[in-house]
Structure 1
Amino acid sequence: MVRNFAIQALLGGMFQVLMFPLILFLAAGTLAWPAAWIFLVLLYGFVSVTARWLSRRNPGLLEERMSMFKSGQSERDRLFVPLVVVCMVWLALMPLDAVRFHWSWVPVWLQVVGALALIGSFVFMFLAFRENGYLTPTVRIQKEREHKVISTGLYQYVRHPMYSGFLLFFVGTALLLGSVYGLLFALVLCGLFAWRAVREEHTLLVGLPGYDAYMARVHYRLIPRVW
């Protein structure tokens, strides 16, 4: 039963990720792009490991992450879903910049730094999944699962380690793929995710008992000693 669910979840996750190679290589106009292949290997590896782990430890969370919309999510969060479209525009911009039109150039050593940042982002995200069984893609109070405050692991240092991982993901991906314009766009995405973290906390403060005390103990949202 667990094995069948793992296979279904893995296939579902891979289906969601198929948009990445389609957008990258169609926009680039070629398959001969080593940086993109490195990116995809790292991405698929992370998705595979995480899906398998969640299928064993928290299949309910894995199932919920396969859906963008859930009952009980706030209207504010539902309106933020178009961020996914913005991310796809960002993904298409990078191959246009780095491969098809060569608008900008990134040295190899910075691409290596980007690959390391990307790996670091996946580590952050996996550790966040490991600690927080309520880490759904949309913001809602999960009363049916007795939602409670998580304050262990990375949550001892920042209140939104998953979003911290996304910041590294955006910057690391742009550097690895060799796109300065993608990096500038990544900074915009980082700002949008920071804005979402603030909005998410409004929901948690109102609906999740103990979150105000947690905010008083852990002062930083995304980056320790910074913000």
Structure 2
Amino acid sequence: MEQNLLARKAWAGAVFLLIALWIMLFLPAWSLGFWQAWIYWALFSVSVILITRYFLRTDPELIKSRLPAGPGAERERSQKIIQTCMTVAFILLMLLPGIDHRSGWSEVPVYAVIAADIIAGIGFSVVFLTFRENRFTSAIIEVGRDQTVVSTGPYAIVRHPMYAGASLLILATPFALGSFLAIIPALLIIAGVIVRLIEEEKFLAVHLPGYREYCRKTRFRLVPFVW
């Protein structure tokens, strides 16, 4: 019964997200001819559905830990503020391309749109691999019971592979949706990610045994060989 309830909550959340995303993409455009949005929404939808289905079958506890999300789920005031700002920026990231499309402000070449969709797909793949490697990848900053440091898979390359994958997705989104204007909220989201992961590292260094040693071993936080 509990498993069925978890599945219903997970699928309800996924469906709500995808419907909301569709509305944010197409309502400002006031057109169903926004082909860049169709490709992006299809990619986003397939990725969310496959990831949800996979982990409901293989690791429902991961799904359970990720259901409480957003500013309201965070415990620290600073994280509530960061999450609120990032949520607003994400909404703008989804709304602006439709306005841009209707107004004809940007002209992103088709090859750049396709390349951006491929990068977005890679971003989703990195997130999936991170979830598969670390079942304690919660949607909020916390340390779970019996949690240990994970240093294998994508965690051997950067300390925050989930944020790395999400950052690829976010940075690719303006180009995938054919909007140079949307680069502004995308960069604001990346700034939020950087501030969030720095605070998360401070928290984990105190509350997760072995994390300081892991940081010394895996030097790069987000971008391999850069930072």
The TM-score normalised by the length of structure 1 is 0.91
Q: What residue number does 1:19 align with?
A: 20
Q: What residue number does 1:91 align with?
A: 94
Structure 1 residue 3, shift from structure 2 partner? 6.8
Distance in 1, Cα, partners of 2:17 & 2:87: 12
Structure 1 residue 24, shift from structure 2 partner? 0.8
Distance in 2, Cα, partners of 1:8 & 1:215: 35
Q: What residue number does 2:31 align with?
A: 30
Structure 1 residue 8, shift from structure 2 partner? 4.6
Structure 1 residue 170, shift from structure 2 partner? 1.1
- Within-5 A mapping of 1:73-84: 73-82=75-84, 83-84=86-87
**What RMSD over aligned residues (CA atoms) do the two structures have, in Å?**
1.7
Q: What residue number does 2:200 align with?
A: 200
Does structure 1 residue 164 correspond to structure 2 residue 164?
Answer: yes
Does structure 1 residue 132 correspond to structure 2 residue 134?
Answer: yes
Q: What residue number does 2:115 align with?
A: 113
- Cα pair 1:94 1:174 within 8 Å, conserved: yes
Structure 1 residue 5, shift from structure 2 partner? 4.7
Q: Secondary structure at the match of 1:24?
A: helix
- Which amino acid is the alignment partner of residue 203 of structure 1? F
- Where in structure 1 do 4 or more consecutive aligned residues deviate above 4 Å? 1-5
Q: What residue number does 2:225 align with?
A: 225
Distance in 1, Cα, partners of 2:211 & 2:5: 37
Distance in 2, Cα, partners of 1:86 & 1:176: 17
Distance in 2, Cα, partners of 1:17 & 1:198: 30
Say how many residue pairs are matched: 223
Structure 1 unaligned regions, length at least 5:
none
Structure 2 unaligned regions, length at least 5:
none
Distance in 1, Cα, partners of 2:4 & 2:217: 40
Aligned-residue sequence identity (percent) comes to: 32
**For residues 64 and 18 of structure 1, do their structure 2 counterparts lie closer, same or farther at Cα, with a shift above 3 Å needed?**
farther
Distance in 2, Cα, partners of 1:31 & 1:137: 33
Compare 103-112 and 183-192 and name the one that shifted more.
183-192
